[in-house]
Structure 1
Amino acid sequence: MNQQFPTSNSVDIMLFSEGTYPYVKGGVSSWILQLMKGLPEFSFGVCFIGATPYLDGELMQISYEFPENLKHLEVHYLFDDNDKKRPKAKRKKGNKEGFEAIEKLYKAFQNNSGEIPEVLKNLDFYTKEVTFDDFLHSELAWEFLTKIYSKNCPDVPFVDYFWTLRNIHKPIWTLANIVKNLPTTKIYHAPSTGYAGFIGSLASYTNNRPFFLTEHGIYTRERKIDMLSADWIEFKKPALLQQPQEYNYIKKMWITFFDKIGLFCYHRSNHILSLFSGARAIQINFGAPEQRTKVIPNGVDVDGLMKTMSKRKDPQKPIITLIGRVVPIKDIKTFIRAIKIASQTIPDIQGWIVGAVDEDREYVQECQQMAFALDLKGAIQNFDGNKSKLTIEELEKNEDKIKFFGHSNIKEILPKSALQTLSSISEGMPLVILEGFAAGVPCVATDVGSCRDLIEGGINSQDKAIGLAGAITGIANPDALAKEYVRFLNFENGVWAKAQAAGLKRVQKYYRQEMFLQEYRELYNEALSMTWDQLNEKRETL
């Protein structure tokens, strides 16, 4: 999809998109689009920040049409091929002030206190006091880096240490230069901490405008999980020769960096928003000022989705739908195993996997191979460059028990689904569960993110009294999932009907799109009606 990017000198709200809208479908991208379309009275900008222009080896493509009130879109990459075009480095002595600034930056990312050094808040530090070339090439900086290396991790290969340090800090200068050229903006808003949150916070410090943070997942926590499990930053050394402090030093550098970035965002935010109470508690535990935290649940188009119920057939086919990207964090393989187990009781059961298949092609192929190995086959739609695209109707007629639909219109999928499921090992607040409830589809999900709150009722006692809209199981437990599938698909026992009624009532009462949009409308209008001094005073006195 080739589209001309809109540009403007000024916007009401600038959203910072880290690897999401407008390239990657679903999740945070859907939320960003929902926010813009639902609040047409505001003009929006989107600043996309990606690692490289490629996804799974292919050039990324725009995945969304742009709403009329998206007035500005710019795209930046933190780790592209620009280094190949850089002029040859020149040796430089560096000046005392620049060296001291570099030392401050390094120590700012290494100390364990909650204090945010002033040097991190000053755009001139990155663009005038010390450039990235100074950081890489000055003799004084080099002397400092080698001293720290010798003190902390002399047995780690120096080249690993240097490139880790370089890759940690390079994006900071890139983001600072982006801030210099952003359009005039009244409110900055990021859907995560990390790089998106950092650029939003730095822009807020630079221009004295409010900054909102809405965390869909807890970025710092997720990055810790990534880093602790990553083998690409594992320093290998014979175990008998390792010292505990050096074994994870490279990983610790990354984790400390993201910890500090998270605090930087929390300390600057006027509002620190989350999607459910459990996420808010984690934010506070990670250093967010409690008085500035607030829960705003996601909302869905309840009325539009309820209309799809007229398309449901009776009796229903035993179709279980997993709506989500085909990536390891969604644990699609556990779902496939659960369908195999459940098929022993319900021979005509089907498992529909509805979500993008282009993010991790290797994992998609592994899932497909598992389906074939378990004699479930695995018809594929929207796979291999759309060369063999099948319609929903064609796939429905296919006799495979596992079917991959690719990214599809859920208003066509949900009326055909008896049950929705999530087998994820991590989630925030999945919109798909709410969308399923509004379309009359109960859900069986793993106990991650807000899934339990959505299914059992977690807002208040009245919400809990509505009843169960599905069931919760442990992660990576196909037997438990299969048991629930069989229980719900025995329509004669009344469990499915009660769950459908509970889901419909819950989503209508607590998760309407209008409620979600009104909360943001009020926050935006308040920020636009106050001076920076008034906003800052309110933030400090909360």
Structure 2
Amino acid sequence: MSRSRVAPMSDVLLATEGTYPYTLGGVSAWADRLIRGLPDRSFTVYAVVANPGTGLRYELPPNVDRLLMVPLWGTDRHEEFSWNAQFARPFGLRRAFRREFLPAYEAFVTACLRPAEVKLADAREALWVFARFAEQGLMKYALRHRATWEVLRARLAEHPVFRHLVLFEAVDLGKLLYRYLAPLAFPAPEARVYHASAAAFCSLPLIVAKERYGRPLVITEHGVYYRERLLNLARLNRAAPYRYFLSSLYSLVVRLAYDAADSVAPVARFNAKWEERLGVPPAKIHPIPNGVDPSAFDITRPAGSGEDPLRLVMVARIDPLKDIHTAIRAMRSLRDVYGRRPDLEGVTLTIYGPAPDPAYEASCRDLVRAYGLESVVQFAGPTHEVNQALNAGDIAVMSSSSEGFPYAAVEAVMAGRPIVATDVGGMREIVREPYGMLVPPRRPRELADAIARMASKRAELAELGRLGRQRMLEEYSLDQFLARYRSWYDEWTDKGDANDEFNASNS
């Protein structure tokens, strides 16, 4: 691929997907802390979003050179929003379509349908062909061509799982490929290091840019992207073949990202086990846990103090992966099983967090009403005063079905709150006895039992909170987090610069 420089280079191009700077919390908080904490590094933020109408939720710091928005939906032609739009069709388009695009498309679809039989190199070559067509504004032409549809239909018909796929779902798969490959129409500009915040679709243009510019690609894994996609597919009300295709597509994208990455930094050691199973060599894996600013999360009210009933607090998105349903059912168990215990009389749960999924939020509120818990479970919405919200509670609760290395848990413990949480992802690395208790996910009664055991220690809660905060200070401070990323960036920037100098001297 040809080398071209379309804008001054940033030190880091950080690619996000559905997060920073357009949503609050989680990965977005990680990105904001990372960028602000390294003011001597310049960043380009390459943000893949659902639609172009998404509004900013973070004020960008001065060391962000550019914000590049990449919408997947909400537009008929991705090229309308690309900073590299090319609408003229080049000479020889039909020949290139037949000779290059169709074989590439067939290889990519085959990789999705029969992943065990396909070399990853074939799919990578197909990705580069897609990138050339997408950057010239030709992806819609190519994917809507009759010959392309015939390739998809033929490959589906050959596979026993897809032979009886209904027509509209087959068409929908073709459309989804157009949407999911949209980032390729938005070429990543040159940067000294490419950094994907997930081994996801946002990493595809970075794979291409790495080849184009010879610069390193590093990936941070928060939750395990592939695992979380499988959890979402399990809830999707579509036919099994349709879900199987999507799971294979996600697997292919993840494996392409891992294969291209020079280094992978999971935020939890738990993630590293999944990454190794998905083909990442152990030598590539360098965990970097999240960190929290101790001055932003401190103890302003000791846990358990005062005479009021105990207050449980949760800071989480109202999202299926956070499994708010389990927390609500646990509160019903607390009432029904432990309702007569004096130390649990009047106990409440307040949930702080945005609701990006209106249907799921509605199901949570319906569940509260169905159990008659309106005075017990309260939805407080998102807050910028997270430390204040945590200090208003006595015990933190997290009921997630999937996590990476959750900021919410570190923040809660840093704020001196004893915690009861589900044993998922990197939670075990944060939540330890005596200040924390872990239970299996999706077990409301066991979550309720653990809350009841923690509540029985009311006189000890303040000391347990102090012990938890001390451990967070020792292992998960913001300074440690930033030092680890600074070292990581330095290592790969130096290697990229050395490679650039070598190529220049031999050109």
Partner of residue 272 from structure 1, selected from 257, 260, 264: 264
Say what the alpha-carbon RMSD is for the aligned residues.
3.1
In 2: Cα distance, 1:128 partner to 1:84 partner: 10
**1:404 is aligned with what amino acid?**
F
Please say if 1:361 is aligned against 2:327: no
Partner of residue 176 from structure 1, selected from 184, 187, 198: 184
What secondary structure, in the 3-state scheme, does the structure 1 residue paired with 2:441 have? coil
Please say if 1:509 is aligned against 2:503: no
Please say if 1:104 is aligned against 2:107: yes
| Worse overlay, 517-526 or 59-68 | 59-68
In 1: Cα distance, 2:369 partner to 2:157 partner: 53
Structure 1 residues 312, 42: closer, same or farther in 2, change over 3 A? farther
In 2: Cα distance, 1:222 partner to 1:492 partner: 36
**2:372 is aligned with what amino acid?**
D
| Worse overlay, 102-111 or 71-80 | 102-111
Q: Does the Cα contact within 8 Å between 2:137 and 2:185 map onto a contact in 1?
A: no
Partner of residue 295 from structure 1, selected from 277, 287, 300: 287
In 1: Cα distance, 2:62 partner to 2:202 partner: 23
In 2: Cα distance, 1:427 partner to 1:290 partner: 21
Cα deviation 1:339-385 (Å, max 9, x = unaligned): 2333413222111111113x1223323323333343332xxxxxxxx
Q: CA deviation at 1:167?
A: 1.4
The aligned residue for residue 32 of structure 2 is 33
The aligned residue for residue 370 of structure 1 is 367
The aligned residue for residue 381 of structure 2 is 406
Q: Does the Cα contact within 8 Å between 1:300 and 1:513 map onto a contact in 2?
A: yes
In 2: Cα distance, 1:329 partner to 1:96 partner: 43
Q: CA deviation at 1:302?
A: 1.9
Structure 1 residues 66, 312: closer, same or farther in 2, change over 3 A? farther
Q: CA deviation at 1:149?
A: 3.3
Structure 1 residues 147, 215: closer, same or farther in 2, change over 3 A? same
- The TM-score with structure 2 as length reference comes to 0.85
Matches within 5 A, 1:151-162: 151-152=158-159, 153-162=162-171
Structure 1 residues 209, 493: closer, same or farther in 2, change over 3 A? same
Q: CA deviation at 1:261?
A: 0.9
Structure 1 residues 536, 258: closer, same or farther in 2, change over 3 A? farther
Structure 1 residues 482, 169: closer, same or farther in 2, change over 3 A? same
Matches within 5 A, 1:8-47: 9-47=8-46
The aligned residue for residue 135 of structure 1 is 142
In 1: Cα distance, 2:18 partner to 2:489 partner: 24
Partner of residue 426 from structure 2, selected from 450, 453, 467: 450
Partner of residue 282 from structure 1, selected from 260, 274, 292: 274
In 1: Cα distance, 2:415 partner to 2:216 partner: 38
**1:223 is aligned with what amino acid?**
R
The aligned residue for residue 47 of structure 2 is 48
> What are structure 1's unaligned runs of at least 5 residues?
1-6, 54-58, 235-247, 378-399, 457-466, 538-542
The aligned residue for residue 98 of structure 2 is 95
In 1: Cα distance, 2:446 partner to 2:135 partner: 59
Matches within 5 A, 1:136-535: 136-138=143-145, 140-152=147-159, 153-172=162-181, 174-179=182-187, 182-231=188-237, 233-234=238-239, 248-306=240-298, 308-309=300-301, 313-315=305-307, 317-343=309-335, 344=339, 345=341, 346-357=344-355, 359-377=356-374, 400-408=375-383, 409-456=385-432, 467-491=433-457, 494=460, 496-497=461-462, 499-531=464-496, 534=499
In 1: Cα distance, 2:497 partner to 2:398 partner: 43
Q: CA deviation at 1:127?
A: 4.5
What secondary structure, in the 3-state scheme, does the structure 1 residue paired with 2:431 have? helix
Q: Does the Cα contact within 8 Å between 1:122 and 1:206 map onto a contact in 2?
A: no
Q: CA deviation at 1:327?
A: 2.0
Q: CA deviation at 1:139?
A: 5.3
Aligned length: 473
Cα deviation 1:309-355 (Å, max 9, x = unaligned): 57995456511001101122222222223223334132221111111
Q: CA deviation at 1:410?
A: 0.9
In 2: Cα distance, 1:522 partner to 1:73 partner: 24
Structure 1 residues 222, 116: closer, same or farther in 2, change over 3 A? farther
Q: Does the Cα contact within 8 Å between 1:212 and 1:269 map onto a contact in 2?
A: yes
Cα deviation 1:27-46 (Å, max 9, x = unaligned): 00100001011111101111
Q: Does the Cα contact within 8 Å between 1:208 and 1:532 map onto a contact in 2?
A: no
Q: Does the Cα contact within 8 Å between 1:266 and 1:289 map onto a contact in 2?
A: no
> What are structure 2's unaligned runs of at least 5 residues?
1-5, 81-86, 88-92, 503-507
Counting aligned pairs with the same residue, the percent is 24
Cα deviation 1:57-100 (Å, max 9, x = unaligned): xx53321121121221121211223159999xxx9685344433
In 1: Cα distance, 2:376 partner to 2:45 partner: 41
Structure 1 residues 257, 528: closer, same or farther in 2, change over 3 A? same
Q: Does the Cα contact within 8 Å between 1:49 and 1:78 map onto a contact in 2?
A: yes
Structure 1 residues 315, 62: closer, same or farther in 2, change over 3 A? same
Cα deviation 1:292-320 (Å, max 9, x = unaligned): 00111111112332253579954565110
Partner of residue 67 from structure 1, selected from 61, 65, 72: 61
Q: Does the Cα contact within 8 Å between 1:336 and 1:371 map onto a contact in 2?
A: yes
Structure 1 residues 267, 323: closer, same or farther in 2, change over 3 A? same
In 2: Cα distance, 1:37 partner to 1:420 partner: 28
Cα deviation 1:387-419 (Å, max 9, x = unaligned): xxxxxxxxxxxxx32221111111211221110
Q: CA deviation at 1:8?
A: 6.7
